[in-house]
Amino acid sequence: MLPGGYVKIGKVTKNMTDKNLAPVCGLYCGGCEYYKKTCVGCGNVKGKPFWTTQMKVETCPLYDCCINKKQLEHCGLCEELPCETFNKFHDPSLSPEEAKQAVLKRQNELIKRKEISTENWLEEKNKNL
């Protein structure tokens, strides 16, 4: 990684500490299989990623709650974490056990993000790519 959170990808230099790659839910958009294919990062689309049309919702329910209603940077800053919405929100293709593990992983990522800051969390995520 270059100084300031930049990485060199081919001939392009990209800022990988862009907060738009750190959505409210605890996932990391920069490591997502859909990033730059069908999605540009949840923050860049204001909580309306590609899957909202498939799920028949206008906006991601976590984004709507966190950003629009509570004006929080991410769910890890909410006193109610993990709330019912957070616990119910997962990839529908996962088994119940896989979904439970995925939700717990996101929750732990958000706790860590709260402790070390979003910027440091993003830098850490990029080191692991």
Domain membership flag for residue 69: yes
Domain membership flag for residue 8: no
Q: Are 62 and 25 spatial neighbours (Cβ–Cβ below 8 Å)?
A: yes
Q: Which comes out higher in pLDDT, residue 29 or 16?
A: 29
> Whole-model pTM?
0.83
Whether the per-residue pLDDT at 126 is higher than 50: the answer is yes
Q: To 10 degrees, what angle do helices 96-116 and 118-127 make? A: 120
Q: How far apart are CA 101 and CA 21, in angstroms?
A: 22
Q: Are 116 and 127 spatial neighbours (Cβ–Cβ below 8 Å)?
A: no
Domain membership flag for residue 89: yes
Query: Tens digits of per-residue pLDDT, 99-123?
Result: 999 999 999 999 999 999 999 999 9
Q: How far apart are CA 129 and CA 124, in angstroms?
A: 9
Domain membership flag for residue 13: no
Q: Which domain holds residue 38?
A: 22-116
Number of domains into which the chain is organized: 1
Domain membership flag for residue 44: yes
